[in-house]
Structure 1
Amino acid sequence: MNHEVKNGIYWVGAIDWDLRDFHGYSTPKGTTYNAYLIVDEKIALVDTVRQGFFDEMLMRVSGIVEPEKVDYLIIDHLEKDHSGSIEDAMKVFKNAKIISSERGKKGLDEWYDNKWPIIVVKTGSTLSLGKKTLKFLETPMLHWPDNMMTYAEEDRVLISSDAFGQHIASSQRFENDMHYDIREDARTYYANILMPFAPLILKLLDKVKDVNIQPEIIAPAHGLIWRSPEKILEAYKRWSMFESGPKIVIAYDTMWGTSSRMARLIAIGAIDEGVEVRMYDIRKSHISEIVSDLQDARAFALGSPTLNNGMFTSVGALLTYLKGLKPKNKIGVGFGGYGWAGGAVKEITEALKSMGLDTIEPGFQVKYVMKKDDEKECIDLGRRIAKRIKE
């Protein structure tokens, strides 16, 4: 079956049904490695697939054209899930010339020891395939320095590399053919990969207009293709501006149940004030799931017991992961139980503050056993957070 995106542009990628972890975040639905074949008087292939999936891609290419007729191999992104089959590809697409950004060329030369001549393109460069014209747009740090996008001008198809993707393995190719709204998957993808680059994404959205790119279809490097690009463009703008709703994410680990009990009482107070609550036991939930929910939450409450005068390692791991994602426009608060000496709540508060979160200090901690006054204080803390959210 040929998966035509539009007018001689075909999806020829591979489906990874079994992937469950990608760079440390959970991918319960698997993923796809998307490659696109553009057929005209000249033929271009945009990206390859992860090593081990080349035969699947080649089977799809061969169902459309003879492989030796491919004239150009465009590498939009060097990461191995997209360029991992380039050596296999160049053995089969014997007449193909490689096209990449300047930074892409440097990476390819280093990885493959200057094995192939490479045509360098930059923002605004074009390539004529005959009736079709390809325009290139450099997008450094979305999410590697070499990233670029390829735009089929006449067909208004934007092949967007890692931007606008999702990790979904599916027999469907287009988002509007799915039985549910995949923006939730796109949000998880954004939160765990692209959140640190939010300012660059806002600039990209402006740059797309400046270079007269007006896509009717957005074809990302992972997941489903967008036939309604305004849906994902609007979502990316919202996420990159860190717009948030009246929502708090509460995450915790616990030793003997105190931090768990505190989390539930904080939730009661927030719910009483009409704020949405999402609750996570860190050891029972994947970090990426927590981060995804935090994307559009206004507040984050993080709880830990004290161990060796500090926070639990699971809490520290979450904070390390979150620090690299650079969340903005959020309220943060630490809480937890302790025995003879505290320390966890102070560490959490300092970590949240160092990320630029608007912290409620000094947080709240309970010594040994929850008392009635402690229970009331936890509920009041939830109410205070909720009121801050609604300010």
Structure 2
Amino acid sequence: MNNVKLAENVYYVGAVDWNLRDFHGYTTPRGVTYNSYLIIDEKICLIDTVKAPFAQELLERISQIIDPAKIDYIITNHIEPDHSSALPMVMARAPQAKVLLTEHGRTGILKHYQQNYDFQVVKEGDVLDLGRNKLRFVPVPMLHWPDSMISYLTGEQILFSNDAFGQHISTTKRFDDENDINEVLYEAEKYYANILMPFGKMVVKAVDKLKELPIKIIAPSHGVVWRTHIPEIVSKYQEWGRGRAVSKVIIAYDSMWGSTERMARTILDGVAAAGVTGKLYKMSSADRSEVVRDMLEAGGILIGSSTLNNGMLPNMGALMTYLKGLRPSGKIGAAFGAYGWGGGAQASIEEMLKSAGIAVEQQGLALKWVPDAEELGKCFEFGREFAKKVLTRV
């Protein structure tokens, strides 16, 4: 097997899942990796495991370097099953290993696997002496689970960053500079938008903590390892965590008989006329996680739907529920759409926008049946006025 060396006596021993296309609702067209790292020192340390179906591959990779029975420590930075579900299989081969994790992590591992391993609970500032190197632990609760932490290897100056700085991308090349950096950054942005967006304040705090550490390598739990573009990805995380917005408006809609679609396209023309970049997505065919990636830095979000049973269309309801959980910051929004004998979609959308933390600063636009020329003019002005509001905020 191709075990990649990150530094002297530090190896990548994880697995690449080329075929996974859905990560609990987040589409992964480039697949996923489950990253695990092996440190060979006076003490042997494994950083995280992998998803259970890849446990044998993990053990085979480790076995090419050292007998798994010689592992002294297993660091569980995060208990989510894509990182930890191979732990029982690894512990069966290394029963004497001590498992280091946070208090929330210990509780979670006990509940997930009903095994009382030799746990060592760590907290902020704790250090594990491996011999030539030491591991420092930095708990980062709610980035993105209560148990989450990152680990820093002194000497080699490697940050094992858990889910932070990750991407869902499969490749035979393990490092950022060996891949198309534009693809890697695109997937890093999509990953942040769909997983870490709700935790922006914690992201900023975590990145501020890292400023104290000299870092040569960032080794996340998913995707490629950063060794060349570290300043760039750290800067991106600072911007995303602070809710940086640019002059861009995302229009997401669904249409029953085409009237809302005509409105959306005309509103887009109005946005463009104001000098603002606009993007249009029909949610019956668009990839929701891609749309959310595009929303990450947008200053404005316009949501359109025909009215169905006094509410919005199901595809729009799914998007709004998703946004409510992600709570994008620093954005304004508004609603629009067509209706027949009775409306209701726009009021529902506005309520959901507010519950997602998106400021509704413009009255929605609802038109009956098919928009005529005068009403299309109103759509154009609706888009232009909204775009002007975005320009005043970015």
* TM-score in same-fold range (> 0.5): yes
What is the distance in 1 between the residues matched to 2:108 and 2:136? Answer: 22
Structure 1 position 77, deviation (Å)? 0.6
Counterpart among 205, 209, 221 of residue 207 in structure 1:
209
Q: 1:175 corresponds to which letter in structure 2?
A: D
Counterpart among 197, 200, 204 of residue 199 in structure 2:
197
Aligned to 1:226: 226
Counterpart among 184, 187, 203 of residue 185 in structure 1:
187
Give the gaps of 5 or more residues in structure 2.
none
Q: How many residues align?
A: 389
1:346/1:362 contact within 8 Å kept: no
Q: Deviations over 1:258-282 (max 9, x none)?
A: 1111110011111122211111110
What is the distance in 2 between the residues matched to 1:111 and 1:31? Answer: 22
Aligned to 2:374: 373
- TM-score (structure 1 length as normaliser): 0.97
Asked if 1:24 is matched to 2:25, the reply is yes
What is the distance in 2 between the residues matched to 1:176 and 1:266? Answer: 41
1:349/1:362 contact within 8 Å kept: no
Aligned to 1:318: 319
Which secondary structure does the structure 2 equivalent of 1:232 belong to?
Answer: helix
Give the gaps of 5 or more residues in structure 1.
none
Q: 1:205 corresponds to which letter in structure 2?
A: V
Structure 1 position 351, deviation (Å)? 1.7
2:76/2:100 contact within 8 Å kept: yes
1:31/1:169 contact within 8 Å kept: yes
Aligned to 2:254: 253
Aligned to 1:356: 357
Q: 1:221 corresponds to which letter in structure 2?
A: S
2:362/2:386 contact within 8 Å kept: no
What is the distance in 2 between the residues matched to 1:163 and 1:63? Answer: 29
Which secondary structure does the structure 1 equivalent of 2:213 belong to?
Answer: coil
What is the distance in 2 between the residues matched to 1:162 and 1:244? Answer: 23
What is the distance in 1 between the residues matched to 2:135 and 2:357? Answer: 41
Q: 1:226 corresponds to which letter in structure 2?
A: W
Structure 1 position 358, deviation (Å)? 2.3
Aligned to 1:38: 39
> Which moves more between the two structures, 344-353 or 6-15?
344-353
Which secondary structure does the structure 2 equivalent of 1:199 belong to?
Answer: helix
Aligned to 2:298: 297
> Which moves more between the two structures, 87-96 or 254-263?
87-96
Aligned to 1:272: 273
Structure 1 position 344, deviation (Å)? 0.5
- TM-score (structure 2 length as normaliser): 0.96
Q: Deviations over 1:49-74 (max 9, x none)?
A: 00110111112111111211111111
Percent identity between matched residues is 44
Structure 1 position 244, deviation (Å)? 1.2
Q: 1:378 corresponds to which letter in structure 2?
A: C
What is the distance in 1 between the residues matched to 2:370 and 2:279? Answer: 25
Asked if 1:58 is matched to 2:59, the reply is yes
Which secondary structure does the structure 2 equivalent of 1:284 belong to?
Answer: coil
2:98/2:118 contact within 8 Å kept: yes
Q: 1:257 corresponds to which letter in structure 2?
A: G
- The runs of at least 4 consecutive aligned structure 1 residues that moved more than 6 Å come to none
Aligned to 1:109: 110
